[in-house]
Structure 1
Amino acid sequence: MTDADSTAGDAVDTATAPAGDVATRLESLLTDTLERRDAAAFVHVGTPRDPGIRYCRSALEDVEGRSTADRERTLTAVAFDGDAGEWIAVTAADASSHPARALASRLADRVDGGTVLTPARLPHDAALYLEEADFEPASTDVLERARAAKTPAERERIAAAQTAAAAGIRRAAALLADATVADGRLAADGEAVTPAHLRTVIDEGVVAAGAFPAGNTVVNPDPGHAPSSRDAADEPLRPAEPIVLETAPRGPDGYHGGLVRTLVVDGDGGRERRAHVGATQSFRSAAAMLTADAESVTAVEADLEAEVRAFGFEDPDAVATRVGGVGLEPRERPLAGGDEIGPGSVVRLESAVRVDGDRWLRIADLLVKGDAGERATYLAAPSRSLEPRALLEE
């Protein structure tokens, strides 16, 4: 597979691509990219767990007007014929041979060899089947770029997953609001409140709201968002210390939410209050910034950090911010550096402030960058208050 010009030749303006539905948007970007790269078709192969396959299959559902739920567990090969503007799909249930081999054969009947564009992570055997049919695979990131801006239907699916995330966090807040202190530890219903207990409570709330936890619920994550609390899963939590609750559930249609709240039981103010004011102010600033114009991930992260530091957190290691797209993955484009947060993007914004030692205050919400002239808005979520009971008053 060649990839020397995998992105250099793909400089398509995704902001101008139609956003009515997945099929319209994706086909527009594919047609333009194939023409620019002088390629015959786009091909992808993978299981339904692959976000790229899920996205292509969403386009197929839009085009064909039917569900592909009956193919949920089968290896799938899809292609978009740029000249004809048509999709081809083959699954293991459809073909007697490997789906990629069957797809390559069908594609060879339509076009006379040449370059086909594929994701860089195309399975090796699929690339060999394409070469066997006289095609030359070359990598492209067109799928990732197409997914960076969400259609109205995708935004609704993300909002539904975020509603489930909020349900999970509120259920944990309810437990903490009624918690008592015994021997310097938090207890509820006569049992110690532990990270493992809170994770279970959050996940139960997510499931009751119709989504799947997907293994993304974490209590007191480390700076890299790893589930460090598993190392102390059964260690009782303490009053007056920040408790970070993080979840990114997946809805039944595959789209994720993303929510982080920090709660304190019987807090005495101090540094965490100041950190909380700085973090919440940073979210207001970011929304105003993204209402005014499209911005890069780096620029928004820097703005979040500057707002927090304005409240006196000057230590270089005291503040951490992170911005990234949310959709069929908990983190996807726009993801880093110069990636632009353009119209239609849904991004997870997080501000984190070190309170003391290894204890952090973290808040994260999902923000939708509207179309030109529209205000950037946060998806509905619980209060950002540190007080558990405040999350139950909405």
Structure 2
Amino acid sequence: MTGDSPLEAALVDALEREDATAFVHAGPARDPAIRYCRPELERDPGRHAVAFDGREWRVRSAAEPGARPAGELAEALAADGLSGTVLTPARLPHDAALYLEDAGFSLSSTDVVSRARAAKTDAERSRIEDAQAAAGAGLRRGAAALASAEVVDGRLRLEAEDLTATRLRIAVDEGIVAAGGFPDGETTVSIPGDDLVRPGEPIVLEAAPREPSGYHGALGRTFVRDGEGGSERRAHVGVTRAFRSAAAMLVADAQSVTAVEADLEAEVRAFGFEDGIRTRVAGVGLEPVERPDRGSRTIDEGAVVRLEVGVALEAGRIRLTELFAVGDGNVDRLGSVPRSLDPEGIDGEES
């Protein structure tokens, strides 16, 4: 063993249970499973093949066209006397599978890596919190642009130009970068109608940036500039209460993704909304959406999950996204951006 990695312990159990000789995966450095197995490879832009035999890791890497790290690794495993079954992720590249079979191995699919990734270590949670802080900085900058814009002829204008969804997205991304994060193409601005931002309409800002080592955050807020309340305010209160209910539910016991999504929807329905409710619950880590991400999969201790709740209204959509870390008898909300419909309220204290 190379350390106290929870992944290595899970792999040892899987190898013994399946009577397999090694775990093998191959792919580019950007592959989340490769980065999770061998974090040091994130600094190497080439292609990699990794194997764990229950005692140590073996790695073959190459950047040159035509190189075959998976083939070299398969040959090395066979030359060292390993034989029989190897465990691989379901998404093992086809050429890697062929190299392993040519070296005399049989393949068996396993989800052991994705299951291990679902429970975050303290170091992983810290990185996710860094990404979430960058997301918060981005949304604060977007909200500041909304708050400082002037109303002219039914439109919002900023620095003598129309404020558009595109300009807001750029502002959010600039805030993320200034805070040390990377937008990673995961920033969206949703408004009713065309690209122009107007007072009185819901504007949804969402971001799922990553920090330098690749871990993501997830945050979403809806703002209404010069809003009059009404159904937007009622929907916003319902969504906020839904988060509180789901957090209490996760404290009480391990829950399935489906059960938490149903609880979120039920809380919003309690505020008089029947149609247009959308909820999503999923893990966050090296990918903006990862396990636990659907159905009966359980949200267990150690998980960091994104909870999204949206309600479609005649004037637009109210949607919020929060990130929660599930501990031993506690659930922590990651990030401290207030849930205010008024963009000026984002700099206030959280309720």
Q: TM-score, normalised by structure 1?
A: 0.85
- Which residue number in structure 1 is paired with residue 15 of structure 2? 34
SS in structure 1 of the partner of residue 222 of structure 2: strand
Q: Which amino acid aligns with 1:297?
A: V
Q: Which amino acid aligns with 2:337?
A: P
Checking the alignment, whether the CA contact within 8 Å between 1:162 and 1:381 is kept in structure 2 is no
Q: Tell me how far apart the structure 2 counterparts of residues 162 and 149 of structure 1 sit (CA, whole Å).
A: 18
Checking the alignment, whether the CA contact within 8 Å between 1:174 and 1:392 is kept in structure 2 is no
- Which residue number in structure 2 is paired with residue 360 of structure 1? 317
2:91 is equivalent to residue 121 of structure 1:
yes
- Which residue number in structure 2 is paired with residue 13 of structure 1? none
Q: Tell me how far apart the structure 2 counterparts of residues 276 and 22 of structure 1 sit (CA, whole Å).
A: 47
Q: Tell me how far apart the structure 2 counterparts of residues 285 and 92 of structure 1 sit (CA, whole Å).
A: 50
Which of the numbers 300, 315, 334 marks the counterpart of 1:379? Answer: 334
Q: Which amino acid aligns with 2:331?
A: A
Checking the alignment, whether the CA contact within 8 Å between 2:45 and 2:63 is kept in structure 1 is no
Q: Deviations over 1:169-219 (max 9, x none)?
A: 000111111111111011112111100000000000000000110011101
SS in structure 2 of the partner of residue 211 of structure 1: coil
Q: Which amino acid aligns with 1:264?
A: V
Q: Which amino acid aligns with 2:23?
A: F
- Which residue number in structure 1 is paired with residue 113 of structure 2? 143
Q: Tell me how far apart the structure 2 counterparts of residues 213 and 95 of structure 1 sit (CA, whole Å).
A: 30
Query: Alpha-carbon deviation of 1:91?
Result: 0.4
- Which residue number in structure 1 is paired with residue 346 of structure 2? 391
2:77 is equivalent to residue 107 of structure 1:
yes
Show structure 2 runs of 5+ residues with no match.
none
Q: Which amino acid aligns with 2:50?
A: V
- Which residue number in structure 2 is paired with residue 256 of structure 1? 216
Q: Tell me how far apart the structure 1 counterparts of residues 95 and 3 of structure 2 sit (CA, whole Å).
A: 28
Checking the alignment, whether the CA contact within 8 Å between 2:30 and 2:42 is kept in structure 1 is no
Q: Which amino acid aligns with 1:177?
A: A
- Which residue number in structure 1 is paired with residue 289 of structure 2? 331
Query: Alpha-carbon deviation of 1:23?
Result: 5.5
Matches within 5 A, 1:62-77: 67-68=40-41, 70=43, 72-77=44-49
Q: Deviations over 1:21-60 (max 9, x none)?
A: 99521011111111111111000000011000010113xx
Query: Alpha-carbon deviation of 1:110?
Result: 2.9
Matches within 5 A, 1:113-262: 113-220=83-190, 232=194, 235-262=195-222
Checking the alignment, whether the CA contact within 8 Å between 2:87 and 2:108 is kept in structure 1 is yes
Moved more, 93-102 or 256-265: 93-102
Q: Tell me how far apart the structure 1 counterparts of residues 5 and 49 of structure 2 sit (CA, whole Å).
A: 20
Q: Tell me how far apart the structure 2 counterparts of residues 276 and 95 of structure 1 sit (CA, whole Å).
A: 53
Which of the numbers 61, 79, 91 marks the counterpart of 1:91? Answer: 61
Q: TM-score, normalised by structure 2?
A: 0.95
Q: Tell me how far apart the structure 1 counterparts of residues 116 and 82 of structure 2 sit (CA, whole Å).
A: 27
Checking the alignment, whether the CA contact within 8 Å between 1:173 and 1:392 is kept in structure 2 is no
Indicate the RMSD between aligned Cα atoms, in angstroms: 1.9
Query: Alpha-carbon deviation of 1:111?
Result: 3.6
Q: Deviations over 1:232-258 (max 9, x none)?
A: 4xx321101100001100110000010
Which of the numbers 307, 326, 329 marks the counterpart of 1:369? Answer: 326
Query: Alpha-carbon deviation of 1:354?
Result: 1.1
Checking the alignment, whether the CA contact within 8 Å between 2:29 and 2:42 is kept in structure 1 is no
Q: Deviations over 1:81-108 (max 9, x none)?
A: 02xx111111016999510111111111
Q: Tell me how far apart the structure 1 counterparts of residues 154 and 176 of structure 2 sit (CA, whole Å).
A: 30
Checking the alignment, whether the CA contact within 8 Å between 1:95 and 1:102 is kept in structure 2 is no
Show structure 1 runs of 5+ residues with no match.
1-20, 59-66, 222-228
Number of residue pairs aligned between Structure 1 and Structure 2? 348
Q: Tell me how far apart the structure 2 counterparts of residues 305 and 132 of structure 1 sit (CA, whole Å).
A: 51
- Which residue number in structure 2 is paired with residue 4 of structure 1? none
Checking the alignment, whether the CA contact within 8 Å between 2:87 and 2:110 is kept in structure 1 is yes
- Which residue number in structure 1 is paired with residue 239 of structure 2? 279
1:96–1:341 Cα change, 3 Å = same
Q: Percent identity?
A: 58
1:95–1:198 Cα change, 3 Å = closer
SS in structure 2 of the partner of residue 263 of structure 1: strand
Query: Alpha-carbon deviation of 1:393?
Result: 2.6
Query: Alpha-carbon deviation of 1:125?
Result: 0.8
Q: Tell me how far apart the structure 2 counterparts of residues 104 and 88 of structure 1 sit (CA, whole Å).
A: 10
Q: Deviations over 1:114-172 (max 9, x none)?
A: 11011111111111110111001111111111101100000000000000000000001
Q: Tell me how far apart the structure 2 counterparts of residues 160 and 128 of structure 1 sit (CA, whole Å).
A: 40
